[in-house]
Amino acid sequence: MSRLDTFERILIGPGIEAAAGADLAGRDNVERIPYLFFQGYHPDICYVLHDGRPLDGGLATYHSIIAYAAFICGRTEEQTLELYCEDIFERLGYFESWAPARAKMIDNFESVDLDIGQTFVEWCRKGSFMHTINHPHIRCLRDLAELILRRADLDIVDTSLVPHDNLMNGPVFPIYPEIGSKLGLRGDYTFKRGGGYQCFSLAEFISDSFLAYRGNPETVIQRMFETQLSRALPVIEASR
């Protein structure tokens, strides 16, 4: 914290200020920036906790609401695999997730006087712009940096060049084909682990997830996903 006075400008995300114990009130060089969080492509992603911490499962700490609900309902891995279909997605409201996810994202940025409405449109025109619900493509970070610089009336280098997409090195959660088709995108069930380009199937993802749940009893879903889980449980139970 002693270095804060040496910075020309401070960019900080939600919750970081309180967690770090930093008092930034009264500073005119602070930019509070929301996280790039978007569920429109991945309405099935959730976080599962064990002893209050995110549980590593099938794909780092990213879990599937369907897989987690199926495990709770006592489904086998083979039965769970059959749940990834258009009918289940429809009943879970996955096809209606885009509009509210878009509105929430834009509202979050408007709350700090950043208008990303047109920028969001441009992102969508180039295909999917998220690797997971909280890992955007590098072009999104580039564009966000430009918006911040413009708001601060600072010089901008006008170029189409972007840095290497380091988040691509992390885990990548697929856009399910049934969801992709509704959005005009090509979807698949190919998952990618972090730290390399090792890909694996939905069946392997479910198997790894169940292994994590069996080895870590008394898990709970993160609070922000409780409503989605409550909706999924009766749907999974009724699909027997």
* Three-state SS annotation for the chain: CCCHHHCCCEEECCCHHHHHCCCCCCCCCEEECCCCCCCCCCCCEECEEECCEECCCCECCEEEHHHHHHHHCCCCHHHHHCCCCHHHHHHHCHHHCHHHHHHHHHHHHHCCCCCCHHHHHHHHHCCCCECCCCCECHHHHHHHHHHHHHHCCCCCCCCCCCCCCHHHHCCECCCCHHHHHHCCCCCCCCEECCCCCCEECHHHHHHHHHHHHHHCCCCEECHHHHHHHHHHHHHHHHCC
Q: What is the fold of 4-38+98-167?
A: Rossmann fold (3.40.50)
Of 110 and 30, more confident = 110
Query: What integer pLDDT is reported at residue 1 of this predicted model?
Result: 57
The mean pLDDT value for 63-85 works out to 98
Q: Is the pLDDT of residue 237 over 80?
A: yes
Question: In the predicted model, is pLDDT for residue 2 greater than 70?
Answer: no
The pLDDT mean for the chain works out to: 92
Better-scored residue on pLDDT, 149 or 180: 180
Q: Which of 9-13, 59-63, 147-151, 192-196 has the lowest mean pLDDT?
A: 9-13
- pTM exceeds 0.85: yes
Highest mean pLDDT among 32-41, 60-69, 194-203 belongs to 60-69
Tens-place pLDDT, residues 215-227: 999 999 999 999 9
pLDDT digits (tens, 9 = 90+) for 163-198: 899 999 999 999 999 999 999 999 999 999 998 888
**In the chain, where are the structural domains located?**
4-38+98-167, 45-95+169-238
